[in-house]
Amino acid sequence: MAELRDLARAGKAWPFEEARKLLKRTGEKTPEKGYVLFETGYGPSGLPHIGTFAEVARTTMVRRAFEAMSDIPTRLICFSDDMDGLRKVPDNIPNQEMVRPHLGKPLTEIPDPFGTHESFGHHNNARLRGFLDHFGFEYDFVSATDCYREGRFDAALLQVLRHYDEVMDVMLPTLGEERQRTYSPFLPISPKTRHVLQVPILERNVEAGTIVFEDEDGTRMELPVTGGNCKLQWKPDWSMRWYALGVDYEMSGKDLIDSAKLGSRITRILGGTPPDGFHYELFLDDKGEKISKSKGNGLSVDEWLTYAPADSLSLYMFQKPRAAKKLYFDVIPKTVDEYLSFLERYHREEDPAKRIENPVWHIHSGNPPQAETGLSFSILLNLASAANTEDRDTLWGFISRYVPAATPETAPILDGLVDYAVRYYRDFVKPAKRYRAPSAMERAALEDLLGELDMLSADAEAEDIQTRVYEVGKRHEFESLRAWFKALYETLLGQEQGPRMGSFIALYGLDNFKMLLRRALAGEDLSREVV
């Protein structure tokens, strides 16, 4: 453990950099509350999305990095702002007419349109917990409704009331002229309609801990700011939460930089210390535009997990969190193969200092699974493409000949990849396949290649096959070897890019590949499955 601690404290990976901030923040001493607190936030008016996964995954990586360099206990809370008033009926829920009369009420006071929980807020909170549990995250769930109603925020709310004018001095310059006239950090909840009200505060009684406002029917009302009678606007609420809970670390998106600065100022006004953290970049679609739930561009978590394992998604979140990245279907195969490559490299690496810099150390909290066969996701896609098959058993037939010891039971990672490859091939590769006939020069090269391969034994090594492929390409008048390989991919696989041919031919089977060559030379339809 001492060696790991020293290595972690000197680590260069970004989670170690973030963890060292916390080490400095604590002075290497346990905070009075007994732990270092990490927080992620969630707005439960919708369903968990890829941003939710990204934030919890990245925060967990920082948490584990901190635990590697310190014995100070840690805790991660996922906070649900479920006391927010629902502003509009979501398009993707059933029984919308059931919800519409309750607009403006806290989410936890709106009937559940799904009919499974005591409120819409409780339903979405359950979806959030199920989402996080599916990925094995270790966290504590915290509900805003519970904190407000059970008094956990009472002391902090009274502190906001005491410093009301100072909080307003921070907030008002950020608002338009009209909004300034009605703004208050406190949102009273109408005792009559249960609506969360955005109304001016007419009077404040700091000693009594109350505010006076005009209710929706014009009645002048006085309510305590405590006990769940009020909630705060989201920016002061964020600050109050940091203060009340003693949050030590929270990251947020680049779009919230200014909000986080405001929040930090308010936290200091209340007498607290803002958390450490950093601002990650946002995801872009294939056109370079910001991903938006309302636009429906980009990828969802469910879509990624249809075609690739969760560990590959974690790798995508680990890599360059401060850089804007495109998140669309084409990045999946590359990311899966990068994950497999990092996993193999981790187990080959003997230097512990280099091991902890490997992304899989952070993805798997220091305990990555064993690497398996060395077969990449891309080569499985190309295998499905060459065989024109969507049948997992057919792919396993090729794999078993190439790696006799591999079975679905002994190679569970590979077995999962076979299913993912079949789905990705079916939905993305197969529809885009466009075969073309070889030119006269390419035909001569293909015939030459067939002759070279005929001289090899059926169990020839991948490197020997690759050498023959290279030699044939050099003998013919291609502009470059790249043009030769492109011709192979387009005439034999129906695609512009493809695998390392030696490894692919060895996996597909030398005899099978020679049959593919003969069919191409005979002008047959290669899109037809022949196994």
Q: Report the chain (531 residues): mean pLDDT per 10 consecutive residues.
A: 90 98 97 98 80 94 98 97 93 92 97 96 94 95 98 98 98 95 96 97 98 97 98 97 98 95 98 97 81 63 94 96 90 96 97 97 96 92 93 95 93 96 96 95 97 94 96 95 96 92 94 95 82 49
Asked whether the beta carbons of 230 and 186 are under 8 A apart, the reply is yes
Q: What is the pLDDT of residue 295?
A: 56
- Residues 65, 17: Cα–Cα separation, whole Å: 9
pLDDT at 360: 98
pLDDT at 286: 75
Alpha-carbon span 473 to 484, nearest angstrom: 6
pLDDT on residue 33: 97
Angle between helices 377-387 and 501-508 (to 10 degrees): 60
Annotated binding residues for ATP, written as ranges, equal: 293
Hey, which residues does 76 pair with through a beta bridge?
Answer: 38
Please give the Cα distance from 282 to 59 (Å, whole number). 16
Given a contact cutoff of 8 angstroms between Cβ atoms, the answer to whether 341 and 350 are in contact is: no
SS percent in the chain: helix, strand, coil, step 5: 50, 10, 40
Largest CA distance in the chain: 96
- Mark residue 213 as left, alpha or beta (left: phi above 0; alpha: psi -120 to 50; beta: remaining): beta
Measured CA distances, 57 to 40, 135, 343, 365, 477 (Å): 10, 9, 18, 11, 51
CA angle 241, 243, 248 (to 5 degrees): 90
Instruction: Give the span between the Cα atoms of 436 and 442, in whole angstroms.
Output: 11
For the chain, where do the domains classified as CATH 1.10.10 start and end?
377-521
The per-residue pLDDT for 170 is: 98
User: Domain 377-521 belongs to what topology?
Assistant: Arc Repressor Mutant, subunit A (1.10.10)
Buried b (16+ CB within 10 A) or exposed e, 437-453: ebeeebeebbebbbebb
Q: Residue 529's pLDDT is what?
A: 61
Q: Under CATH, which architecture does the 1-145 domain have?
A: 3-Layer(aba) Sandwich (3.40)
Contact of 332 with 424, CB cutoff 8 Å? yes
According to CATH, where is 3.40.50.620 located in the chain? 1-145
> Quick one: pLDDT at residue 454?
95
Return binding residues.
293
pLDDT at 49: 81
| Nearest CA among 149, 161, 150 for reference residue 229 | 149
Question: Which of 214, 217, 207 lies closest to 188, judged by CA?
Answer: 214
Q: Alpha-carbon Rg of the chain, whole angstroms?
A: 29
- pLDDT the model gives residue 214: 97
